[in-house]
Structure 1
């Protein structure tokens, strides 16, 4: 398994977050932001601090500190609570939006991995505003997080400025399902990578990435409608795998799937995600090559 594969995926490590199911409400609202953050976007996977045994410390909110210590870098998830000194309290909404969707901080420095900026560029203006509203509503927690250090060259940017992105209509289930998969960066784990760690988008969804952690080793499964993927699965079995973290035989999956967050995805949104997965080009399982 290449190092690049690992450092772009560790940020999805599962946290079994105990929250009540919430439903999508008015776009741009705190309620919508809560639904996204505690559901498909699952920012708490990285930004919730952890204890000595890796246990999530929910009483410290989204105050960061989780470390990703890899050969190319040592990165720390930043404090994204509204604390004025150690968090995002002094950032404007526009600065927050640019950081999330374009990977550029207020001081113009580039945010490096494992932040999945390439996928967050798909966030609509209204959903981005909702996430920012949710972040503003969180308790400020003082937690000074070390700066990340990189032994790789970060890109000058992740593309041109992102403007005027609309949320697809939920009536178009496949398109809306793709939108949810994008902002949830599902394909960052479930698409194979080349030896340089780059996603092989011609094999999108074919699985094969290998993850090593305290749980041992897990391999991302094929999400395409191929015989080696989800073709033999019923919709109900797919939903149970995403929400509850077990296969068709009831055997539990290992991390990094964020089941504790995905269990809060509404039935309508889950149906859209399944419709999108069913629409993918069938691909045979593609085990990542080192």
Structure 2
């Protein structure tokens, strides 16, 4: 039995209930711009970071989208990025456009709400065209058969939201540089790494961009930097060129490489960002009020 046929009617009802949030996703076969989808995935959303296995030299491209190497753990879950290739048996090849849309922008999968490691709260902002483009690109990628990783989810997973990204943007929003900058920052999940925390949870209201989140990687420990407009604690005194170098080349103001995970994301993904999007992102970052954290 296919993954789609195995869905219970209860799960179907749950998915249908959240589809108004997605609006009516256009059919990728008819509307998606595959190149646009590739750009969104490779330069901004960085889907490979969670869904493609890694080797000594980086992503294993021959196994692209077949499932990630890292395990994400929380109080009531332990998961790895699953296979999102177009393989029908072990990936999402048998999923409808609506089911894929629900997983991407609402965090609802075949077995209920996905673990918080899936950052759907940042993807709800996707325009209808961009949602279709991402789905079209994933469908166009080669199918890769891979065993499904073990997943543990205890109890109901909480749904999160990111202020300003609760509903999809319209294409006209992207014509405004600051709105476009917020769109880019949201898809790239800048504030997921660079906002401060209160009681162990990201605090986008009081600590937006203030940094302080701790990252433990095989290369060591790093702390999310303050990217507010504070002139000493943040990037208020940085030039646009210095901010661009940090984003797209992973190089700090002192000329030294930044630590992972920013260094990895810059090299593998943000280096592919267009000039228009880079400029818009920097312009939006300039609007973040100065805060002294972390």
Taking structure 2 as the reference length, the TM-score comes to 0.81
157, 168, 175: which is aligned to 1:171?
175
SS of equivalent to 2:189 = coil
Give the match for residue 115 of structure 1. Answer: 118
Deviation at 1:54, TM superposition (A): 8.6
Give the match for residue 219 of structure 2. Answer: 215
Q: 1:174 to 1:246 in 2, by over 3 A?
A: same
Give the match for residue 236 of structure 1. Answer: 241
2:192, 2:202 within 8 Å by CA — same for their partners in 1? no
262, 277, 281: which is aligned to 2:285?
277
Q: 1:166 to 1:220 in 2, by over 3 A?
A: same
Worse-matched range after superposition: 241-250 or 58-67: 58-67
Deviation at 1:189, TM superposition (A): 0.6
Give the match for residue 70 of structure 1. Answer: 73
SS of equivalent to 2:113 = coil
Q: 1:85 to 1:170 in 2, by over 3 A?
A: same
Deviation at 1:185, TM superposition (A): 1.1
2:48, 2:65 within 8 Å by CA — same for their partners in 1? yes
RMSD between aligned alpha carbons? 2.0
- Count of residues paired in the alignment: 255
Q: 1:35 to 1:221 in 2, by over 3 A?
A: same
Q: Which structure is higher in RCO with an 8 Å CA cutoff and minimum separation 6?
A: 1
Give the match for residue 98 of structure 1. Answer: 102
- For residues 175 and 239 of structure 2, the distance between their equivalents in structure 1, rounded to whole angstroms, comes to 22
Q: 1:92 to 1:125 in 2, by over 3 A?
A: same
1:131 and 2:134 correspond: yes
- Cα offsets for 1:234-273 (capped at 9, x unmatched): 0001001011111111111111121120000001110000
Give the match for residue 225 of structure 1. Answer: 229
- For residues 280 and 271 of structure 1, the distance between their equivalents in structure 2, rounded to whole angstroms, comes to 15
Where in structure 2 are there 5+ consecutive unaligned residues?
1-30
- For residues 54 and 229 of structure 1, the distance between their equivalents in structure 2, rounded to whole angstroms, comes to 32
Higher share in helix: 2
Give the match for residue 182 of structure 1. Answer: 186
Give the match for residue 44 of structure 1. Answer: 48
Deviation at 1:66, TM superposition (A): 2.3
2:248, 2:270 within 8 Å by CA — same for their partners in 1? yes
**Aligned positions of 1:250-265 closer than 5 A:** 250-257=255-262, 258-259=265-266, 260-265=268-273
Deviation at 1:68, TM superposition (A): 1.3
SS of equivalent to 1:40 = helix
1:193 and 2:197 correspond: yes
Following TM superposition, where does structure 1 have runs of at least 4 consecutive aligned residues deviating by more than 4 angstroms?
none
271, 274, 278: which is aligned to 1:266?
274
1:85 and 2:85 correspond: no
61, 69, 73: which is aligned to 2:64?
61
Taking structure 1 as the reference length, the TM-score comes to 0.82
- For residues 118 and 60 of structure 1, the distance between their equivalents in structure 2, rounded to whole angstroms, comes to 27
2:125, 2:168 within 8 Å by CA — same for their partners in 1? no
- For residues 98 and 269 of structure 1, the distance between their equivalents in structure 2, rounded to whole angstroms, comes to 26
1:67, 1:74 within 8 Å by CA — same for their partners in 2? no
Where in structure 1 are there 5+ consecutive unaligned residues?
1-26
- Cα offsets for 1:11-41 (capped at 9, x unmatched): xxxxxxxxxxxxxxxx841010011111011
Q: 1:164 to 1:176 in 2, by over 3 A?
A: closer
- Cα offsets for 1:212-247 (capped at 9, x unmatched): 111111111111111111111000010010111111
